[in-house]
């Protein structure tokens, strides 16, 4: 999982996604960041809230991601 106050494309999230790809490891990665579009002017807090990057929203997105990941995992013995 990556969280950045920058756009994901070309940022830290993109770099982190390259590592498992290069190692041929298939694993879901949650990337949270600013949308790759123009944002209106505002305070940092306003822009992060608009992008869904408040602490509360981040926690909700992590919970949703981990619930989906757990329900899709297959275990073999």
Residue 27 in any domain: the answer is yes
pLDDT band at 61 (very low <50, low <70, confident <90, very high): very high
- CATH number of the structural domain spanning residue 43: 3.40.50.920
Q: What separation in angstroms does the CA of 31 have from each of 12, 40, 50, 64?
A: 9, 22, 16, 13
In this predicted structure, what is the pLDDT of residue 77? 33
Pure H helices in the chain: 12-22, 44-50, 55-72
pLDDT band at 54 (very low <50, low <70, confident <90, very high): very high
Q: Single out the residue of 66, 76, 77 nearest to residue 27, CA to CA.
A: 66
pLDDT band at 53 (very low <50, low <70, confident <90, very high): very high
pLDDT band at 20 (very low <50, low <70, confident <90, very high): confident
Domain holding 61, by residue range, is 2-72
Full-model pTM: 0.74
């Amino acid at each position: 999982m990556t969280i950045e106050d920058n756009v994901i494309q070309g940022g830290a999230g993109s770099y982190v996604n390259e590592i498992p790809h290069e190692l041929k490891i298939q694993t879901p990665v949650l990337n949270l960041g600013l949308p790759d579009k123009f944002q209106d002017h505002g305070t940092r807090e306003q822009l992060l809230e608009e992008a869904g990057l408040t602490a509360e929203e981040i926690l909700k997105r992590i919970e949703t991601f981990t619930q989906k990941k757990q329900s899709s995992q297959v275990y073999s013995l």
